[in-house]
Amino acid sequence: MRGRHAVWAAITSPFRSAWRATFGTRRSLSIVVTLTIIAFAVGFASNYWLPQRLGYTLLFGIVLAGLWTWSSGQGVRVRMSRSRDRVQAGESIIERFEVINDSVIPKLWLEVEEASDLPGHTAQFVTSLGRSNHRNWRVQTACHRRGLYNLGPITVRSSDPFDIFHRELRFGHRRGLVVYPRALELPRYSAPPANLPGEGRFRRRTHYVTPNASGIRDYEAGDSVNRIHWKSSLRTGSLKVKTFELDPASHLWVIVDLSGQDHIGTGDDASIETAVTIAASVVRLFINQNRSVGLMMFGERLDVIEPDRGSQHFGRILESLAVAQPIGTVPVASILYQQSRRWGRHTTVIVVTASTDPRWQGAIRTLTHRGVKAAVAMIDLESWGGRGGAAATAVELRALGVQVNLIRKGDHIPSVMVGQIPGGAMASGAAALAAAEGNGTNGGGVPSAQANMQMEEVVAEADWSQAESGADAQDPQSKETLVQ
């Protein structure tokens, strides 16, 4: 008997699945089909004309509703364009949608929705279109949380007036959106200078041509023509030549501790968000100073970005920081010991951590003995309701001559991230900000207006009409994306 039941279940399983897919989720269709069957059964059993005509009417209505739903999806196209695929937290993206009806049959009810896991993103519309008509929408979404998110595909749903049948059309594919962490301006932060010529808060003048032009002077015999500053020469009426400063040649590494045991909190108030913001702000400061900056952190794996310069390199670092999560199992002490061969007397290492483990303090001591300059951004987990000991760790590190900044929950990061000022004293946050406003410079002597790095906007467009046929081509010259 059990074998017979198993065979019967195997035979009827596809039909039961089809029934559940067709009628299980569509209550209106189930009701209409049930009434149609009952009307025909009563009509033929009693040979009475009224139930039979009612059954034929319901059957005709089902067919008409199916044709209505099918036709409502014919000739529909969607165009979508996005302002950019990479933004910083706090900025917004703008999307433009256009739904087009190329058919002569009007569309009385269309639901348009873009799938997304971006917090706060809502792109849902209900519209009706006449024949050969179109509708446009503009959606602006503020991106508050860093991370990697997916937008798309776009779903267009249509239905008949009695909601018996539904039809869904999907356009396009999932596309990524990278939300970079906040990179704040640090007006008075500076790292300890490495032991190389040209290092320090102020660059040294040089007679060599470098990327760092510092001023102008009068022309002297023997000066090269390519050093003449023609605008100043025309304005003053005498030849002026540019002067240059020696380019800093050392490397600066930012080490971010992603150990799960050294972070606490969730969402925007988590300690990891403070750590990532500090790292991004430090990188921004030194990239704007044309310094060579690298990044190292250990989450799921060891992530190393070798030192380099420029805005493109800054973007690569921000992309890594955007997806950084405190899921690592390797303590920061192990990273410092294992990777110490990378660093020598020409290197400055900045560690962003909340660890109070004395082992990594020993690693810092070993590095400083080898001539490596070190600075620490110490996150106080006690202010997040976690373990204490950060203040004592900061005192011990300062006793070793290490520059330490202690950051607590709710602190204004530019106020507490203060470096060594001329004269050797550690500036307070208020004094640093006041001095920065007074001279208009950041911590490295670079004008604040120059320190504001603008992220390049990337027009994000994809040719979805080709994507449906298996191609994923992009046309950077077009202003919108056509979805067939």
Any idea where the domains of the chain sit in the sequence? Answer: 2-72, 76-181+458-483, 205-245, 251-451
Report DSSP state, residue 145: S
Distance CA 150, CA 483 (A): 18
Q: What is the pLDDT of residue 141?
A: 93
Q: In this structure, which amino acid lies at residue 261?
A: Q
For residue 439, what are the contacts with CB-CB under 8 A and spacing of at least 6?
Answer: none
Q: What is the pLDDT of residue 420?
A: 59
Residues 120 and 140: beta-carbon distance below 8 Å: no
Q: What secondary structure does DSSP assign to 43-88, as a single string? A: HHHHT-HHHHHHHHHHHHHHHHHHHHHHHHTTTEEEEEEES-SEEE
Q: What is the pLDDT of residue 13?
A: 65
Q: What is the pLDDT of residue 419?
A: 80
Q: What is the pLDDT of residue 431?
A: 38
Q: What is the pLDDT of residue 72?
A: 86
Structure-derived torsion over alpha carbons of residues 29, 35, 36, 40, reported in degrees to the nearest 10: 160
In this prediction, the residues of the chain whose per-residue pLDDT falls under 70 are: 1-26, 195-214, 244-249, 420-484
- How big is the CA angle at 182 (ends 177 and 184), to the nearest 5 degrees? 150
Strands (E), 60-203: 76-82, 86-88, 92-101, 107-116, 124-129, 134-142, 147-159, 166-171, 175-180
Q: Which CATH code is given to the segment(s) 76-181+458-483?
A: 2.60.40.10
Distance CA 228, CA 242 (A): 6
Q: What is the pLDDT of residue 426?
A: 44
Q: What is the pLDDT of residue 28?
A: 76
Q: What is the pLDDT of residue 30?
A: 78
Domains 76-181+458-483 and 251-451 share a fold: no
Residues 377 and 405: beta-carbon distance below 8 Å: yes
In the numeric block, the tokens 């989450």 are attached to 299
Residues 256 and 278: beta-carbon distance below 8 Å: no
Residues 166 and 107: beta-carbon distance below 8 Å: no
Q: What is the pLDDT of residue 434?
A: 39
For 32-36, the CB contacts below 8 A with 24+ separation are 32/58, 32/61, 32/62, 32/162, 32/164, 33/62, 36/62
Joined tokens for residue 333: 């002490």
Joined tokens for residue 323: 């997806």
Helix (H) / strand (E) element for 337: namely: helix 332-338
In the numeric block, the tokens 């007006």 are attached to 187
Q: What is the pLDDT of residue 235?
A: 87
Query: What fold characterizes domain 251-451?
Result: Rossmann fold (3.40.50)
Residues 348 and 375: beta-carbon distance below 8 Å: yes
What count of other Cβ atoms lies within 10 Å of the Cβ of residue 36?
Answer: 19
